[in-house]
Amino acid sequence: MKIAVDAMGGDYAPGVVIEGLAEAVADFPHYNFVLVGPVAKLPFYLEKYGLTGHPRIELVNADTVCEMSEPSAISLRGKRNSSITVCARLLKEKAVDAMVTPGHTGATVAATKVLVRTLPGVDRPALAASLPAQQGRFILIDAGANPDCTAVNLTQFAIMGEIYAQYLFKMASPAVGLLSVGGEDIKGSALTKEAFKLLEQQPVNFVGNVEADAIFEGAAQVLICDGFAGNVLLKGAEGLAKSTMFWLKRVLTKNAIRVAGAMLAKNAFRELAAFGDAADIGGAPLLGINGICIIGHGSSNPKAVRNAIRVAGECVEFGLNDRIVAKLHETGNTTAELEQKIAREK
């Protein structure tokens, strides 16, 4: 198996990426790698982490980098030889089995959607993020790839998310919920009401609408929404987690007694922080792309990079894309079939 790794992805590239790659090289001896980036800048870090001349690492040059502040289309228009675009091109040409980047999410979505294309029968790809819940974790899909969606898109997200959950959580029939403003099917937007009708007909364990206050209680293992709502939810959860730690620190340092109590409970605080440690997952797959693409957080550390590589390899071994295509076709949920179904009902 061969995995392309974007050396210039993330806030701390290329050092953090190559350090994470070094861990992956040691932990996954059956993987080969293509490290993509400006080859003149990489030797220092390769030598630092003991990877110089490694027989399982191939270097491919990419002259430019998609900066986080740049528009998503930059990977296709202004920087056609960026590290993200080159990774996507390798995936398109089947030179690699998967790609991993902690870089610009929008640029990655644009490059893979245009160059690699979607799976047969899939209209749009979707970002499947894993978030902590009271009991385990759940998958949020779409977490930001598609601000505007149709009921067809949400239905396909449900099927793709279910299959990813089967891999990630080792569950045969994960619960699938639709993010909405009320539990009843009559509540929600025009989009969620139409999607609800389609989801009721699908061969998934659909548990209906899920309100935001029940999300982290474990109401569903797969939560479906459009990319706008999903990204707002994701960023809101990240912000709340940071603020909660700030508030805890402030109240626990008000006096010496509280400080002493906090010191005694420091292991409990470490365990609490570990619940939301995204580095354990490594990254989110862009489901629906005709190839495995894992997108990590911009602030990924070496552990996150290593685990993103692990997830990429496991998704290939699980046959994630083959399973998605098979289920869409077996259940009549390709884009054309779903659109015909909606037209008949109208």
What is the pLDDT at residue 242? 82
Q: What is the pLDDT of residue 249?
A: 86
Q: Report the CATH number that the domain containing residue 22 is assigned in CATH.
A: 3.40.50.10950
Residue 212 lies in a domain: no
The number of CA neighbours under 13 Å toward the Cβ of 161 is: 32
- Is 87 part of a structural domain of the chain? yes
Please tell me the predicted confidence (pLDDT) of residue 273.
67
In a domain, 29, yes or no: yes
Q: What is the pLDDT of residue 204?
A: 93
Range of the domain at 109: 1-122+288-346
95 falls within a domain: yes
Return the pLDDT at 158. 96
Is 22 inside a domain boundary? yes
Domain count of the fold of the chain = 1
Question: Does residue 21 form part of some domain?
Answer: yes
pLDDT at residue 113 in the model: 94
Tell me whether residue 238 is in a domain. no
- Looking at residue 25, its pLDDT comes to 97
Domain assignment present for residue 215? The answer is: no
- Residue of 95, 99, 122 lying closest to 112 (CA atoms): 99
The pLDDT value given to residue 76: 74
Low-confidence ranges of the chain (pLDDT < 70): 272-278, 346
Interval 232-287: pLDDT, tens: 998 898 888 888 888 888 888 888 888 888 788 778 777 766 666 667 788 899 99
- pTM of the prediction? 0.91
User: How much is the pLDDT for 275?
Assistant: 63
pLDDT in tens, 70-106: 877 877 777 788 999 999 999 999 999 999 999 889 9
The reported pLDDT for the residue numbered 82 is 93
